[in-house]
Structure 1
Amino acid sequence: MRISIAIDGPAGAGKSTIAKKIAKELGIMYINTGLMYRAVTLKAIEENISPDNIEALSMLVDRMDMYFENDDLIVDGQNITSKLTTAEVSKHVASYASIAELRERLVVLQRNLASKFDIIMDGRDIGTVVLKNAAFKFYLTATPEERANRRYKELLSKSAVCSYEEILKDIIDRDYIDMNRSVNPLTKAEDAIEIDTTSLSIDEIVKTILDYIKKDLNNL
């Protein structure tokens, strides 16, 4: 039986960091769907393709060769991971990620990976759309202020020029778009376990999730 773990939640809730650690602990593949949407956003910005140019975006996605190598996303033979968390990409990703045609194409790719490997996947519609039948589903959240602070520190550690206030505004705007888009909005799956990460350390979150998983695996 394939192990599939879905982790959903808003931007900056710690999904990627937590998923990476759990993947290493369990020895399974980590698939960062958020990076896939960011990769499309980056390429669209570079090629001056606006979110309303559906035909050009669809063609862009169809010709992009994407795969994960450890924690990095390789696109068209290049490791572009370091470019995907810039303020410019973060500001525009929600507009591209809400496009139905784009989501449909990436969901097919994500499901194919899940059918071949034991995986943990994080995003905004994993438990509700991409992996509806995942054995384990978690929904991570935190206050907008805490999530903005985390992103601010991350960008500062990369010597990026950024503003906490602008990041907070982007996160609040992103939450609204994600939760109110017509196609697969961000929402907690009915059978997902919700974890508020605001006051928890990374190790505490990882332990909480692993405890749930290992308990259920031992009962199989």
Structure 2
Amino acid sequence: MNDNASTVPVIAIDGPTASGKGTVAHGVAEALGWQVLDSGALYRLTALAATRRGVDETDEAALGQVALGLDVLFSSGRIYLDGDDVCEAIRQEAIGNLASRVAALPAVRAALLARQRAFRQPPGLVADGRDMGSVVFPDAALKVFLVADVEARAERRCKQLIEKGISANLADLLRDMRERDARDANRQVAPLAPAEGAVELDSSRLSARQTIQAILDLWKARAR
């Protein structure tokens, strides 16, 4: 990270899967007119690219190379991998589960670190993920750890999938989320946990709009 980039303010929003980080991060970024980083998309893209290329999920070195060489374009709210629009493909549950396993590998995390930090551009950045405040942007001006009951998160994800015309089973989603939470929290590299100085915000009973406003209020209080 160069000196100029380090002066660009960052709001880091971390939390478990389906806690609403992505929706909230985009809403906060839109309100402030800032850049946004969906770090989870990069791990999902790595998982999708590895699947397409037949790379074994146990081959850490090969997966690191896949992550390092991702041909990705973020444009007008769409995500392209090797020139293909993959917005729907990377949101498949199978890809999400593989992304969680791939994200535990040090070689993959190291390969994506510089790419994530490159999103830090004026006038500011809202970054969401698992280790935005602890590893990627430890100097973030505001760190938020967004949580929600696992049951509430599973219900949200189930509703999202059904609205997209994708069949979903609440019991299966609940089991997968519990497994993913445990994997994210117990991995050796950048485990999921609140960063030092992070504000914990429980969104279980908050709407997306209310959660966005809560973070904007925190930012206004910090920026005074």
Q: TM range, normalised to the smaller chain? A: over 0.9
Q: Quick one: structure 1 residues 95 and 84, their matched pair in 2 at CA, closer, same or farther if it must change by over 3 Å?
A: same
- Kindly indicate whether the alpha-carbon contact (under 8 Å) linking 1:30 and 1:71 is maintained by their aligned counterparts in 2: no
Alignment correspondent of 2:63: 57
Does residue 45 in structure 1 map to residue 22 in structure 2? no
Alignment correspondent of 2:128: 122
Deviation at 1:168, TM superposition (A): 0.6
State the SS of the aligned residue for 1:166: helix
Q: TM-score, normalised by structure 1?
A: 0.94
Counterpart code for 1:135: A
Unaligned runs of 5+ in 2: 1-6
For residues 144-198 of structure 1, give each alpha carbon's deviation from its aligned partner in whole angstroms, at most 9, with x where no partner exists.
Answer: 1000011101111111122111111110000000000001100101201110000
In structure 2, C-alpha distance between the alignment counterparts of 1:133 and 1:210, rounded to whole Å: 18
Match for residue 206 of structure 2 among 169, 192, 200 = 200
Give percent identity, aligned residues only: 32
Alignment correspondent of 2:164: 158
Structure 2 matches for 1:1-220, cutoff 5 A?
1-114=7-120, 118-217=124-223, 219=224
- Kindly indicate whether the alpha-carbon contact (under 8 Å) linking 1:87 and 1:162 is maintained by their aligned counterparts in 2: no
Q: Answer with 110-119 or 188-197: which moved more.
A: 110-119
In structure 2, C-alpha distance between the alignment counterparts of 1:16 and 1:166, rounded to whole Å: 22
Counterpart code for 1:181: R
RMSD (Å), alpha carbons: 1.4
Counterpart code for 1:31: L
In structure 2, C-alpha distance between the alignment counterparts of 1:107 and 1:201, rounded to whole Å: 31
Count of matched residue positions in the alignment of Structure 1 and Structure 2: 218
Q: TM-score, normalised by structure 2?
A: 0.93
In structure 2, C-alpha distance between the alignment counterparts of 1:191 and 1:63, rounded to whole Å: 34
For residues 70-121 of structure 1, give each alpha carbon's deviation from its aligned partner in whole angstroms, at most 9, with x where no partner exists.
Answer: 4332222222111111121123221111110000111111112215662111
State the SS of the aligned residue for 2:119: helix
Unaligned runs of 5+ in 1: none
Deviation at 1:20, TM superposition (A): 0.5
